[in-house]
Amino acid sequence: MTTVMVCDDAPLTREVMMRRIGSLPGVTRVCGASSGEELLAKYATEQPALTLTDLRMPGMGGLDAVKRLLALRPSAQIMMMTLAEDIDGVARALAYGAKGYVMKDSTREELAVALAPFIGEAMPRSGGAGRPGVTATLTARELEVLRGMSQGHSNAEIGAELYLTEDTIKTHARRLFRKLDASDRAHAVAIAYRTGLIS
């Protein structure tokens, strides 16, 4: 049996995600949790193959839940859920050991692709769910751009700080994405945290 746990403090969001995930091939059961505390309490009995948790929740948030669960169960497979692009939160969760992230408004088809590596279906792996590796050394300028990304700054803001045009920042971003084998900003920042390029 393939059980998936969905943790979100918003009942409607949790139920919608549970229904979508429960309809995917390979998923035999879906259970829910409304907080990080409940996630940890239920994990031992539910034994999910994959746990999806909201990044931002009252009390024990998703980041703390990831850290505590992986300290107890290093083999746990965890993905984050976020409503808006939360680069810093996602990057830190991936650095802690989360396997990827999905948007809360993901379609059933998008969820099928993102969750396939964890539910046994032979579908393409999403860019956010893999284990990235550093394939080349970044230049000093690329590192500056990456640090700006890690602070949640836009390309225009990074350009203003470095006295460069926004197009130049975009060029540096494309190059560092290619070198890091990163699919997007959050993925690149996560690689940087994990490999010690930034801290």
88 three-state secondary structure:
helix
Averaged confidence pLDDT in the chain: 84
Q: In whole angstroms, give the CA distance from residue 151 to residue 148.
A: 5
d(CA 199, CA 195): 9
Q: Among the listed ranges 58-72, 122-136, 139-153, which one has the minimum average pLDDT value? A: 122-136
**90 or 144: whose pLDDT is higher?**
144
pLDDT of residue 136: 53
In the prediction, which pLDDT does 93 show? Answer: 87
What CA–CA distance (Å, rounded) separates 93 from 71? 13
pLDDT at 197: 79
Using one digit for the tens of pLDDT, what is the confidence trace for 67-126?
999 999 999 999 999 877 677 788 888 888 898 888 888 888 888 878 877 876 433 333
Residue-wise burial string across 50-82, b where 16 or more C-beta atoms lie within 10 A, e elsewhere: bbbbbbebeebbbbebbbbbeeeeeebbbbbbb
Residue 100, SS3?
Answer: strand
List, edge to edge, every strand of the sheet that includes 50-54: 29-33, 3-7, 50-54, 78-82, 100-103
Exposed/middle/buried for residue 198 (C-beta within 10 Å: 0-12, 13-18, 19+):
middle
Report the 10 Å Cβ neighbour count for 30.
20
pLDDT digits (tens, 9 = 90+) for 2-36: 899 999 999 999 999 999 999 988 899 999 999 99
The predicted model scores a pTM of 0.64
